[in-house]
Amino acid sequence: MFTRKPVKLKTWQYIGLGLVGIFAILQLFPIDKTNPTAIPEKDLFAVVDAPVNVKSVIKSACYDCHSYETTYPWYTNLQPFAWSIKDHINHGRKHLNFSEFADYTGEDRSHALEECVEVLQEDEMPIASYKLMHPEARLNDETRQTLITWFQQLRGNGSAH
């Protein structure tokens, strides 16, 4: 009679199975994708007027992390990636939240607009990982300069106060 030898797994196979198991268990801990209620009257574009092209770019390149209008893509269903994304969103809203712009004091508005100019000039925003998955957030030099000019004008004309 034919007897079969038991299959021996190699160390790397045990490691791979362990990683798959850990990945599977992590999926049991999803992130909260509930957006706080946005009050339209408090939004940046309710407080200040913007050209259509500026508004469009800011909405598509900034609002996912800097407002209560976050759209969670499919990959936010995968842990541990979703935890990192949720952390970016929480940090972004804490640093600048366009959904609460009307509540900012004049000094806070001025500082926020100054920061917008600075991160755009230094190409720090949108962050690289966001641009990787969101091609619409990849700003060319012309668009970046348009936003910089708009934020500077907004800060300079007293709309920040």
SS (H, E, C) 86-134: HHHHHHHHHHCCHHHHHHCCHHHHHHHHHHHHHHHHCCCCCCHHHHHHC
pTM greater than 0.85: no
| DSSP 8-class letter at 66 | S
Query: Which pLDDT value is given to residue 6?
Result: 65
* Per-residue confidence (pLDDT) for residue 11, from 0 to 100: 86
Q: Give the angle 87-85-123 at the CA atoms, nearest 5°.
A: 95
Residue at 29 is within a domain: no
Task: Confirm whether 25 is domain-assigned.
Answer: no
What pLDDT, in 10s, does the model give residues 35-92?
A: 999 999 999 999 999 999 999 999 999 999 999 999 998 988 999 889 989 999 999 9
Q: Rounded mean pLDDT of the chain? A: 90
The answer as to whether 6 is a domain residue is no
**Cα dist. 17→13, 26, 152 in Å?**
6, 14, 54
Q: Structural domain of residue 121, as residue ranges?
A: 40-156
Tokens representing 112? 């926020």
pLDDT for residue 90? 95
Q: What is the DSSP letter of 158?
A: T
Q: Is 145 within the bounds of a domain? A: yes
Any domain includes 12: no
30 belongs to a structural domain: no
Decide: 112 and 104 in contact? Cβ < 8 Å. yes
pLDDT confidence bin for 4, thresholds 50/70/90: confident
- By percentage, how much of the chain surpasses pLDDT 70? 93
Is 65 a member of any domain? yes
4/12: higher pLDDT = 12
Say how many domains are in the chain. 1
43-57 exposure pattern, b = at least 16 Cβ within 10 A, e = fewer: bbeebbebeeebeeb
Q: Is residue 73 part of a domain?
A: yes
